[in-house]
Amino acid sequence: MKEILFLEPVFKEMVWGGNRLREFGYEIPSEQTGECWAISAHANGDDTIRSGRFEGKKLSELWAENLELFGNIGGDRFPLLIKIIDAKGDLSIQVHPDDAYAREHENGSYGKTECWYILDCDPEATIVIGHNAKDSKEVADMIHGERWGEFIREIPVKKGDFFQINPGCVHAIKGGTMILETQQNSDITYRVYDYGRLQNGKPRQLHVEQSIAVIKAPYVAEDAAARTITAKGDAAIEHLITCPYYSVDRIEVDGSVTLVQDKPFLNVSIYEGEGTIDGTPVRKGDHFILPAGYGAYELNGKLGLIVSSVE
Ligand code: ZN
């Protein structure tokens, strides 16, 4: 089918959120808007189709009723969730369970593997990835003893960096960072530490025991190897990751390029610039799905895109 499925994102206000999602042309609910659920069929933020034959439908409804759009891949829910995150403040230090733990302890939910492309950050920005405990016992000791300075592994970050966050990996985005996140369709987060902050006068709930149960130790840094860039037409295509849940590429266009959508479906997020896809105008902040069988598509203009698929 040759119809592009444009999505109307859902916005989430967060204690750590800001107002920079306006830079993407969005009407945001407040000055503490933390997340744009850009391509989502999750019950906590189910996007609506913006135009065309399926205008007004939820993405979850399309998944349930028109599985042919998604290559009939099976599975009981749309598998991925794409977000743009604006962290004005620090996010809590957190960890996600894998599928097996979430299925058993979180009412059949998926686990959460995620990855981040850094869209922008302050000059001296850092992020938290991993920890410094040597084994699971030391993880528990450091967390119970609130030895955060020793426990947390913090590294410098710059625009254009990319990180894969597997289940069991302690992580947090810090203030002044904007990312595009590609993740499994899951909303299960265990908060290890929240810097002692209060929300409406109370600390946000921590999940200390679940965190200790799922944190992998020792932390082993991901191999940063796999980023390769291929030239095609007026585009540079950078392969960011392939993991069991998704494959993610970044495409930079300056001119014209014809590419092929031959996956079950392709999620596309425009994070920079403006132009057209098959003659339809698109710009920074647009998110859409190219359905199964779409085939060749032509991009024109000056565009930065993050695309993802399930294989
Ligand atoms: Zn996370």
Domains of the chain in sequence order: 5-214 (2.60.120.10), 228-309 (2.60.120.10)
The two tokens of residue 115 are 């990855």
Report pLDDT digits (tens) over 123-159.
999 999 999 999 999 999 999 999 999 999 999 999 9
Alpha-carbon distance 63 to 44, whole Å?
A: 16
> Any alpha helices (H) in the chain, and if so which ranges?
59-65, 99-105, 136-144, 148-151, 208-214
pLDDT of res. 159: 97
Please name which of 1, 69, 18, 11 lies closest in space to residue 35, comparing C-alpha atoms: 11
Burial of 20 (0-12, 13-18, 19+ CB in 10 A): middle
- Whether residue 283 contacts residue 96, with contact meaning beta carbons closer than 8 Å, is answered with no
pLDDT score of 30 more than 90: yes
Ligand 1 centre distance from Cα of residue 131 (Å): 15
Collapsing DSSP states into helix, strand and coil, what is residue 65? helix
pLDDT of res. 98: 95
The two tokens of residue 60 are 């979850």
Using CA of residue 41, residue 46, residue 52, residue 56, what is the dihedral sign? Answer: positive
User: Picking from 186-190, 195-199, 283-287, which range would have the lowest pLDDT averaged per residue?
Assistant: 195-199
Please tell me which residue in 103, 153, 191, 227 is annotated as part of the active site: 191
Q: With cut-offs at 50, 70 and 90, classify the pLDDT of residue 311.
A: confident
Please name which of 166, 36, 171, 74 lies closest in space to residue 112, comparing C-alpha atoms: 166
Ligand 1 centre distance from Cα of residue 149 (Å): 20
147 is catalytic: no
Ligand 1 centre distance from Cα of residue 181 (Å): 9
pLDDT of res. 1: 58
pLDDT score of 25 more than 70: yes
pLDDT of res. 20: 98
pLDDT score of 26 more than 90: yes
The two tokens of residue 88 are 């004005």
Please name which of 192, 200, 181 lies closest in space to residue 240, comparing C-alpha atoms: 181
Report pLDDT digits (tens) over 229-257.
999 999 999 999 999 999 999 999 999 99
Distance of CA 9 to the CA centre of its chain: 13
Please name which of 22, 155, 37, 186 lies closest in space to residue 88, comparing C-alpha atoms: 22
Ligand 1 centre distance from Cα of residue 127 (Å): 12
Alpha-carbon distance 253 to 231, whole Å?
A: 10
Alpha-carbon distance 216 to 167, whole Å?
A: 8
Alpha-carbon distance 11 to 33, whole Å?
A: 7
- Whether residue 176 contacts residue 125, with contact meaning beta carbons closer than 8 Å, is answered with yes
Q: With cut-offs at 50, 70 and 90, classify the pLDDT of residue 198.
A: confident
Alpha-carbon distance 294 to 248, whole Å?
A: 18
Alpha-carbon distance 37 to 7, whole Å?
A: 10
Report pLDDT digits (tens) over 51-78.
999 999 999 999 999 999 999 998 889 9
- Whether residue 270 contacts residue 285, with contact meaning beta carbons closer than 8 Å, is answered with yes
DSSP string, 134-165: SSHHHHHHHHHTT-HHHHEEEEE--TT-EEEE
Ligand 1 centre distance from Cα of residue 254 (Å): 32
Percent of the chain with pLDDT over 70: 98
pTM as predicted: 0.95
pLDDT of res. 140: 97
pLDDT of res. 209: 95
Q: With cut-offs at 50, 70 and 90, classify the pLDDT of residue 87.
A: very high
Ligand 1 centre distance from Cα of residue 86 (Å): 14
pLDDT score of 225 more than 90: no
pLDDT of res. 224: 63
Please name which of 51, 84, 49 lies closest in space to residue 63, comparing C-alpha atoms: 49
